[in-house]
Structure 1
Amino acid sequence: MSLAQSETAGALRADGGLTVGDRPQPRLSPIPNWNVRHGIAGVRRLAQLAGEQGMALETCLDGTGIAPAMLDGDEVDILVEQEIRLIRKLLLALPQARGMGLDLGLRHQLTDFGIWGYALISSRTLREAFQVCLRYIDLCCVFGKLACEESGGEVRVRFDYDQVPADIRPFVVERDAGAIAAVQRQICGVALPLRHVDLAYPRPAHAARLAAHFGLQPRYDAPGSMLVVASQVFDQPLPQANDATLRMCDAECRKLLARRQAYSGVAARVRDIILRCPAEALDMEAVAARLCMTGRTLRRHLSEQGTTFRALRDEVLQMLAEELLRTTPMKLDEVAERLGYSDSAAFSHAFKRWKGVAPRALGRS
């Protein structure tokens, strides 16, 4: 149901409410959690950009834990942490890509986002579509928190990306802004005229490209990143609105979100412990004790989430091993010790099981 406009300070909330005055604050999308999962669409677009810049797919994905074959799947999920690793690797290898975040975002199609995209396009108004967007924000590739506030005849879409690593933050903000613009244009049929754009980082070398896209000069080094549009456009009917389709899509979005969030339970806590204390990863009982449960209970929880302690351990240790071998001067026995192996031979055996090659075959970047 669309929300009534308000000329007093208020906020458009994903739960269908509008806060006014000193009542509840604007509804934010969930705080970033790098252990949650995203669909593969964002990674697919990143790999496409890397290929256009001359970077081989295998090189692009190496060390991220993402296999090339995963890009061909429509229902493949990856960890946000893996996508961060890929973005960081891309920007280090291809400095020119730092100015391509907006263009990358603009490439996104509604079909990239599966059922979430269909839910948006089936909404009756842009206001209703934005409610759906916020409610199921974890089903798309956006990294930060989003809030939508309304007052004085304006809607302000705020981007809170403080928890995104600083070295990739401008790229991610511009990519996500481009993706939102692309989705909005496909939903409405036309681009919305912007009144103001604030960006919470210094003016980049590609500022002219940003100004050309936004149709105005953004304000840089602002307190926060924000897009501002007129309130009236939020209540215009959408051309492909369909209540029955929206109800079906909403139900499917709830199911999909529940499946992804399930991975963020005990399994995510196990991954966190292994990341922080990899030397304990070889002992499930030690990890279970840190979670105040027995090994048997931990095994049951992980089984309910469709995974095992060994699978999580191997996933994290492989990722850490590749990063240490490629980006640090550590010797093989030092890496083995850091990851909790008794000696380099035990580590080499595990590495061959993961990668099919000895760790010494891995070149350093």
Structure 2
Amino acid sequence: MDTLNNLALEVPILSARYALRFVQFMESRGVKRHTILEKTGVTEDMLNNPEGSLSMTQVLTVLGKADWLMTDERAAFEFGQQLDLPSHGLLGFAVLGQENPRRLVSMIVQYLRVGLPLMDMELASIGSTFRIRLVDTWGLGSLLPCLTKIYMGSIYRVSSQVCSHFTFQFDFPTTTSEQDWKRLAPDSEFEFNAEVSQVMMPLTGIPIRQDDVSLEFLVARTRHDRKQNALEADETALQVRELVMSQPGRPCTTENIARRLDISPRTLRQHLASAGTSFRELRNEIRENFATLYLKDTNVPLESISEKLGFSDQAGFTKAYRSWTGMTPGDVRRQARQKK
């Protein structure tokens, strides 16, 4: 098992654009670039390569040096606040979620679970309030507070257009006053030494802006809505859609979804049939949408995408994707790179 874990640490998983932005952020705070990169295995060529990716070992080494050099424990949260939708390659989500803020939050969380796989996120909702819990899947040790604050800062940035208030809870202490933390996010509450690290945020219902929307995502939205119109008349189908989008992997089965909705699998199937769809059709449509976005906008390996979307292996994912689109995942990724 240790050998497998060590191998996983060396697999390129994070786009170099994140590392470049982080180094630039540290430079803006007076830290020289060579000081951060020295003995990390990360080179200038890697940072400037738009197709490049860093391994978890390289990410942790860079973060470790930077965390030691940071003089303000709020700095990691501030860096996260710089990671807006364009930084994550998420411009199109402003369109995909315009009429349904709940869907926007769900899709952003699912996208970040694959595109920024340094921590996992568990999404839940009660009424109009969302809760996003951060989960350490790598054993981050002393770097856990740093990465947690980066994630929280970015969640605040990308969700602030549809959420009115944020309550941040961190499972570690702080030496900085709450007043100083609130200067970073005036519409928020900060709690430390909590049981878990999570953020709770109610939706505002404010329409989402359409800044910098690409034609590609407009077309995707049009195709998406052709099947969505029939579903919107049925509340059960909408709830199923949100649950599938928050967790489209292997745990997402008819039985599990029915249990979460407190109905029987048979009743669930009947409701979906009345809405003109089925669980399999709905889940595959969401998988196709996510897969296409991952392939076009990230350098995440196909194996990781297939695992996150619930396939037992890459071959199964490739076969399914070809049946949905008539193209292989490799074809889609190559075409996307040629357009850049």
Bin for the TM-score computed over the shorter chain: 0.5 to 0.7
- Preserved contact between residue 38 and residue 139 of structure 1 (Cα < 8 Å): no
Partner of residue 204 from structure 1, selected from 165, 169, 175? 175
Question: Does the alignment pair 1:112 with 2:87?
Answer: yes
**Which residue of structure 1 aligns with residue 95 of structure 2?**
122
* 1:47 Cα deviation from its structure 2 partner: 0.8
Task: Map 1:268-307; keep pairs closer than 5 Å.
Answer: none
- Report the Cα distance in structure 2 between the residues aligned to 1:45 and 1:259, rounded to whole angstroms: 17
Please give the alpha-carbon distance, in whole angstroms, between the structure 2 residues aligned to 1:40 and 1:91: 19
Q: Is the 8 A contact 1:200 1:221 kept in 2?
A: yes
Counterpart position of 1:90: 66
Q: 1:207 to 1:170 in 2, by over 3 A?
A: farther
Structure 2 vs 1, CA of residues 132 and 119 (structure 1 numbering), >3 Å: closer, same or farther? farther
CA distance in 2, matches of 1:122, 1:156: 23
One-letter amino acid of the structure 1 residue matched with residue 92 of structure 2:
A
| Residue 141 in structure 1 maps to residue 181 in structure 2 | no
Q: Distance in 2 between matches of 1:109 and 1:195?
A: 17
TM-score (norm 1): 0.53
Among 149, 152, 167, which residue is 2:142 paired with? 167
Structure 2: which 5+ runs fail to align? 1-7, 225-288, 306-329, 331-340
1:56-95 counterparts in 2 under 5 A?
A: 56-92=32-68, 94-95=69-70
- Tell me if structure 2 keeps the 8 A contact 1:40–1:78: yes
Alpha-carbon separation, structure 2, partners of 1:143 and 1:214? 27
- The answer for the alignment partner of 1:239 in structure 2 is 209
Distance, in Å, in 1 between the alignment partners of 2:122 and 2:158 is: 17
Q: 1:136 and 1:216 mapped to 2: Cα distance?
A: 24
Decide which of 106, 115, 136 is 1:131's aligned counterpart. Answer: 106
State whether residues 166 and 200 of structure 2, in contact with CA within 8 Å, keep that contact through their aligned partners in structure 1. yes
Deviation at 1:60, TM superposition (A): 1.4
Question: SS at 2:163's partner residue?
Answer: coil
Q: Compute the displacement of 1:112 (Å).
A: 1.9
Residues 236, 198 of structure 1: CA spacing in aligned structure 2 closer, same or farther, 3 A cutoff?
same
Query: How many equivalent residue pairs?
Result: 225
Alignment partner, residue 48 of structure 1: 24
Aligned to 1:222: 194
Aligned to 2:75: 100
CA RMSD, aligned part only?
3.2
Tell whether 2:301 aligns with 1:261: yes
**Structure 2 partner of 1:358:** none
Q: Secondary structure at the match of 2:190?
A: coil
Q: What do the CA deviations read for 1:216-242 (whole angstroms, capped 9, x no partner)?
A: 442211111121122x53x65423286
Letter in 2 for 1:120: F
Structure 1 stretches of 5 or more lacking a match?
A: 1-32, 266-304, 306-365
Write the distance in 2 (CA, Å) between the matches of 1:228 and 1:83. Answer: 28
- The percentage of aligned residue pairs carrying the same residue is 15
Aligned residue for 1:74, secondary structure, equals coil
1:138–1:196: structure 2 CA closer, same or farther, 3 Å change rule? closer
